[in-house]
Amino acid sequence: MFLLSSTLRLRGEFQRSLFGLERIIDSIEASPQELIEAGRGIQALRADLPPWNVDSMTQIPLILNLNLPFPAKEPIKKATQSLSKLIHECSSGLLSITPKIQSAPTNSPLENPPIALWFCSSKDPEKLSTVITTSLSGKGSGLTGDLARAIFQAIRTDLKKLGFPPAQELNLSGQELLSEQITRLMWGEFGASLYSEEISPELSPSDLDTDEEF
């Protein structure tokens, strides 16, 4: 798949080259090094391509929920908004994310208390993704990284249930995991899974011919 993707890129077929790299992440049991290499290639190709979905009417709207046992401070609000925007960009416009933070009026008596994080559809709040409980040990970019890793864990746990390969331990930041280790197909399927009615993501990468001669 790496050779096919490289050949297609040399031919100027960037979209099909991207498909090839994405299949390494979402369709086979790749090694950690192969996953990292494929993710780096995806990032490089994405800069040369327009968003897959530019129609706001066909985006899948989801809510990113945070439940905090302490008052929500500005750094958490900014980090959540930043990651919601990152997901929209990484999904190539397939998903629209609205952050929603529920917080306690007073601080928890525990030091560094755990928070809960999950996704739901905007139409059916009872249909939830996997709920992740984690602690936010970092500050600034570290805080954003902690949230990003929890979000990645929630999404990849659900994607495994949908039949995608399980996530592996990779030496990447939380933001890199979201940007490089979830493909457009995975984003679309994850979003659709949170809706009771049938939603068909605007993505059909199955026509890539892996038997092409070069």
Successive 10-residue mean pLDDT values, the chain, 214 residues: 82 90 94 96 90 91 96 93 97 96 90 93 88 85 92 98 96 96 97 80 46 36
Query: How deeply is 87 buried, as exposed, middle or buried, from its count of CB atoms within 10 A (0-12, 13-18, 19+)?
Result: buried
pLDDT of residue 200: 57
3-state secondary structure of 168: coil
d(CA 97, CA 121): 10
Q: What is the pLDDT of residue 210?
A: 38
Note the pTM of the prediction, 2 decimals.
0.88
